[in-house]
Amino acid sequence: MTAATSPRTLSTAPQPGFPTVLAATMRSEWTKLRTVRSTFWTLTFTVVALLGLGALFTALEAARWDRRTPVEVAEFNPLIYSLAGMNLAQISVGVLGVLVMTSEYSTGAITSTLAATPQRGVLLGAKVTTFALAVTVVSVLSTLAAFFLGQAILGPDHGGLSIADPGVLRGVLGGAAFLVLIGVLAVGLGAALRRTAGAVAVLFGVLLVLPGLVTLLPGAWSERVGKVLPGAAGEAMAAPVRIADLLSPAAGTLVMGAWAATAIVVGGVVLSRRDA
């Protein structure tokens, strides 16, 4: 007598969908970002640079207000001085963006990260999104604080602005958006180069060295190329009105977005094609 056997039924657990995987990866990336000391110190330096340098340069301009000529008074742009700290803030945000990617390669943690999230495009997207959201909060609050501090120092007697004046709020938020895009560009560089020193060197070259080299080009070329560099695009984004020799604020935003998008695409291609 033989016992009847029933056919085996193979059952597989349902695979999580893209939104679930992305949300889980973003939670993991947020935990990494907020638990490392480099995040605290670089973002703290960003805030200090924006408020401290903005207040310093604004105070210096207020002190020499009585010695300004009528032409200088007419051309005075208080917003530029309130956001003077952006030159240093972009460096700190950029370095943090590089570390978001390269720190995992230097410690070897990228192996376990890719094992947990083998979808490398999802991983890069989660890193960029999480980092950009954190920098957005810090940048918006810091640029607004720098603006109000600077204008309080100037006051109505020294050409101070109101946040309700035409183009002012857009310029302040444009400055914050510039810092976010610099950070995104830096994440892309980190993904592409995988080494902190190399990625930071390229970032410094793009932000600090390349503008000087462009001035060596013939006049027309120097002006055209200089306008589309990240630094000049950032100045255009943070300007309340269009400034001569710069792009319009909208064009500056598009150019800066193109720089950031290109870096992310290159970083994504390298991440997907190379082993950890």
Radius of gyration from C-alpha coordinates of the chain: 23
Question: Residues 25-50: what's their mean pLDDT?
Answer: 93
pLDDT tens, 110-144? 999 888 888 999 999 999 999 999 999 999 999 99
From the DSSP assignment, how many helices (H) and strands (E) are in the chain? 13, 0
Amino acid identity of residue 97, one-letter, is: G
* Residue pair 93/42 in contact by the 8 Å Cβ criterion: yes
Domain boundaries, the chain: 18-273
Compute the C-alpha angle 209/251/43, nearest 5°. Answer: 55
Tell me the DSSP string of 32-51. HHHHSHHHHHHHHHHHHHHH
Residue closest to 129 by CA, chosen among 99, 105, 107, 97: 97
Confidence of residue 44 (pLDDT cuts 50, 70, 90): very high
pLDDT tens, 89-108? 999 999 999 999 999 999 88
Q: Please tell me what DSSP assigns to residue 229.
A: S
* Residue pair 34/87 in contact by the 8 Å Cβ criterion: no
Confidence of residue 16 (pLDDT cuts 50, 70, 90): low
In the numeric block, the tokens 């995040």 are attached to 39
Q: Give the separation between CA 161 and CA 59, rounded to whole angstroms.
A: 15
- This model's pTM is above 0.85: yes
What pLDDT does residue 10 have? Answer: 47
pLDDT above 50: residue 1: no
Which CA distances in Å does 168 have to 88, 117, 164, 174, 175? 21, 43, 7, 10, 11
pLDDT above 70: residue 15: no
Between residues 27 and 76, the one the model is more confident about: 27
Q: Give the separation between CA 94 and CA 203, rounded to whole angstroms.
A: 7
pLDDT tens, 158-215? 778 889 999 999 999 999 999 999 999 999 999 999 999 999 999 999 999 999 999 9
pLDDT above 60: residue 7: no
Between residues 240 and 138, the one the model is more confident about: 138
Which CA distances in Å does 154 have to 22, 105, 159, 160, 269? 46, 47, 7, 5, 49
What are the structure tokens assigned to 272, written together?
């997907």
What pLDDT does residue 74 have? Answer: 73
